[in-house]
Chain A
Amino acid sequence: MAIEHTETTEHVVPKRVYYTIFVILMVMTYTTVQVAYFDLGRFNAVAALLIAFFKASLVVLFFMHVKYAPKLIKLFVLGGLFWLAIMLGITMTDYMTRTPQEFPMSRVNTVQPLPAAHVPTALLG
């Protein structure tokens, strides 16, 4: 009934690994700053996000020990990422296909105006 300790035993990671990862993270931070000096147009955000994603992966894999964790833990980590993809992906079905003409109200505004005589005076003010 007590939690079995076979799978959850702490994997001992040599300190060297932590220092190496830390140095890589610092270098990537420096890279982010340097990349910001180049205007990549619409790829500005893409470049920054790719670097950030790489750094986050290192933190999760090494500092948070997911690299050494059992499969079930890896599955849950991937599940979290997958859910993020669901959120961003389905939200994009809106943003990628949204055009101003589709708003019902804006369509009303482009309808040909009625001849002035037919418009109730209440609507004219």
Chain B
Amino acid sequence: MSTAVLPRENYLNTDYGLRSWFLTTDHKRICILYLLTITLFFAIGGAFATVMRLDLATPAADLVSDETYNKMFTMHGIIMVFFFLVPSIPATLGNFLIPMMVGAKDVAFPKLNLASWYIFTAGGCFTLWALISGGVDSGWTFYTPFSTLSSNTNVTLAALGIFIAGFSSILTGLNFMVTIHRMRAPGLTWFRMPLFLWSMYAASLIFVLGTPVIAITLLLVAAERVLHLGIFDPARGGDPVLFQHLFWFYSHPAVYIMVVPGMGVVSEIVAAFSRKRIFGYTFVAFSSLAIAILGFLVWGHHLFVAGISVYSALVFSLLSYFVAIPSAIKVFNWTATLYKGSISFATPMLYAFGFIWMFTIGGLTGLFLAALGIDIHVTDTYFVIAHFHYIMVGGAIMAYLGGLHYWWPKMTGRLYPEGWGKLGFITVFLGFNLTFFPQFILGYMGMPRRYHAYPPEFQTLNVLSSAGASILAIGYLIPLVYLLWSLKYGPIAGPNPWGAKGLEWTTSSPPPKHNFETTPIVTEPAYNYSELEETAVV
């Protein structure tokens, strides 16, 4: 915090006006465009969740009708998965940081990057239109034969919106992979790269290899609805379970699109706030790739009760256990990094701790679900809901918020208020656990998902969950308010407020339009904190 003024020229003040934003090819400005777009989608998805939790506060179905409730959980899932979680870390932090971390001026294809945002927004508008003009009730999973034969809601429109947004994912993944392959600064070898880059590379692989499958599958659903083909309809020689195979071939790896970038963020934060090189760097780097690859072999664990063969179920169950290995490697290595580190409990670090804890609970309950016997008991219950919210909300969103706080000074040039940051984290953490922990018990006791009425004996736990959801909502509003406040009133951050390692911290905050004054030359491995004498910890 040496200088108390913002750099005179940075990416935010080189041009002004709408044109300079909507036609920008600067990866940093595109990050801001995505940030605003997905925050809007998060608010919409959150509103649907609010209606559900309000309705579930009482056993009787008294707030909304059955049809409306079906639409609420469907639209919550579609918006949150496809329009918030999948793009969350890659499109915002990934866009901002990948060129900076490799020491480049921009991504490999800057125009394609802008096009990706337009495609994403177009897909989002399509889906929003489907929601406004009547909604969808098929569940975010679009299961056939309901989605193709029975549902008389806007399934086709919503599916087309996701189809369009899929191209944004594919192009973003491609852009990131080429950037990491071809644009690294002199001296930045693969094994000197920050782990965030490894995890973004792994996530990009999933984008490129998985997204075409969901796009075509949803197109087939639309085609079956409109043209009555016989792909999924048994009466025409199709197989409804085929849809589930194809859908989960993408949608299981999609979970890793959400969580692997989060793991990259956590690696950066843990190293910076314990002043140590990540323990077992190579293992952590390769475990990202291992998760991306193994993640493609396990989709059948969503189909155990759908009528797949017993042999197939055994294969998928066994393979599912393998994913636990690279995930556990990461958790153990972060923990080992903390050992004898000089740890500071700044807000980003708190979110990283939150991630490690919540991801561990979500991951371990995933092992319960991979076991054939237990899965049959808890399939389609709140146990599953709790499990994947621990991964996606407790894991992915915690990491997203942690990363947003960690790099906020870099993106805006200003610090957020630390006390409010900690308060926000505590509220999110308590609210999250109060919302979702009772759902494990509810699911174990047999409360099915996707119903808006339930037996009275489940009410206590449901009321706890709804109360937690309102705390969680406040927890998300707190950072929104103080981060916006900090844009004008936050203290000037300076180039490296955390005393962290990494190329992005060697340039001014906010960075100049082309990131670096001169092309950086890398001479040391990532997280070279060992020779660090002085720390500038908050």
Contact = CB atoms under 8 A, between A and B. Distances in A.
Nearest to B185: A1
A1 B209 contact: no
A87 B249 contact: yes
Nearest to A105: B307
B309 A86 contact: no
B84 to A, nearest CB: 26
A87 B247 CA distance: 11
B313 to A, nearest CB: 8
Contact of A83 (B104, B185, B209, B303): B209
Contacts of A94: 241, 245, 300, 303, 308-309, 312
Interface stretch (A19-27, A95-103, A113-121): A95-103
B122 interface: no
A93 B186 CA distance: 47
Contacts of B296: 83, 86-87
Contacts of A1: 103-105, 183, 185-186, 519
Contacts of B209: 79-80, 83
Contacts of A79: 209
Contacts of B105: 1
B519 A93 contact: no
A102 B309 contact: yes
B249 A93 contact: no
Nearest to A7: B182
Given A1-B519, A86-B296, A97 B312 contact: yes
Nearest to B209: A83
B16 interface: no
Given A3-B183, A83-B209, A93 B309 contact: yes
B300 A98 contact: no
A45 B316 CA distance: 28
The 9 residue pairs across chains A and B that have the minimum distance between CB atoms: A94-B312, A97-B309, A97-B311, A98-B309, A93-B312, A94-B308, A83-B209, A91-B245, A1-B519
Interface of B: 103-105, 108, 181-183, 185-186, 209, 213, 241-242, 245-246, 249, 296-297, 300, 303, 305, 307-312, 315-316, 519
Interface of A: 1, 3-4, 72, 79-80, 83, 86-87, 90-91, 93-94, 97-99, 102-104
24 contacts: A1-B103, A1-B185, A3-B108, A3-B182, A72-B181, A79-B209, A80-B209, A83-B209, A86-B297, A87-B246, A87-B249, A91-B249, A93-B309, A94-B303, A94-B308, A94-B312, A97-B310, A97-B312, A98-B307, A98-B308, A99-B309, A102-B309, A102-B310, A104-B305
